[in-house]
Amino acid sequence: MATVQQISQDTQLLRKGQSKVSQDMQLLRKGQSKDLLRQLNPWQKMSQTSAGRVKDLRSTYAKRVPPCCVISGHNQERDLTLAHILPHSTDANIQHIVGMSNKLNNFRNVMWLCSALESAFDRQQLSLEPVDPLSRTRFKVRIWEPEILIVPLYDGAARTISSIVDAVIDFSLLSDRIILYRRCLTYHTLICYLTHLYATSVCRWNSAYDCRFY
């Protein structure tokens, strides 16, 4: 159980991060930093080497955490992928900022996902964000690209991604009792936000993606 002091400290760190993102967004709006998103987005740098590292971790993780998609509840391992929240392609400075230096293979930075959900997560098409500012374990699904709603959760699935819209996950209730790193999920959501802020390559402001992050 998190203490009031821990929550206060996390909130202050998040506010500082939001302030920095706000400054960066001002630069983006003015077209003064073309490469900023590329620098901030480790998911664009993922490679087959990163995927190989996941395979090495999978068998160890499966012994601790029974295969089950944290979003959909599907529990057939053949249809699941072990996904890193922050990938191995994350730059050292970003790892340091979010307090993840040398922790990328920590069990709190990985989760079981249906193959289509893992792909959508890595492409910033969906994210998991805190339900409210004080919540450390409850997250909701946010869909950033409605086009993915018709995609099956995995090859041959009858259910599609539309079946998990607005789903709320309480990690404290899962059988494995592993609480995913809130700061990593929040960072991923911020990258989704920045990625979808602009409708064109000339950084035109798209108010449809205006939202608030905790």
Task: List the chain domain ranges.
Answer: 33-209
SS3 8: helix
What percent of the chain stands above pLDDT 90? 33
Task: Count the Cβ atoms, other than its own, within 10 Å of residue 210.
Answer: 9
- Give yes or no for residue 159 having a pLDDT over 90: yes
Cα–Cα distance measured from residue 170 to residue 128, given in angstroms and rounded to the nearest whole number: 11
Cα–Cα distance measured from residue 169 to residue 105, given in angstroms and rounded to the nearest whole number: 22
Query: Which is higher by pLDDT, 11 or 160?
Result: 160
**Exposed e or buried b per residue across 175-206, where buried means at least 16 C-beta atoms within 10 angstroms of its C-beta:** eeebebbbbbbbbbbbbbbbbbbbeeeebeee
- Give yes or no for residue 57 having a pLDDT over 70: yes
- Give yes or no for residue 195 having a pLDDT over 90: no
Q: What is the pLDDT of residue 15?
A: 58
Under the banding of pLDDT at 50, 70 and 90, the label for residue 34 is low
Computed over its alpha carbons, how large is the radius of gyration of the chain? Answer: 17
What percent of the chain stands above pLDDT 70? 70
The whole-chain average pLDDT of the chain stands at: 78
Under the banding of pLDDT at 50, 70 and 90, the label for residue 16 is low
Cα–Cα distance measured from residue 140 to residue 178, given in angstroms and rounded to the nearest whole number: 17
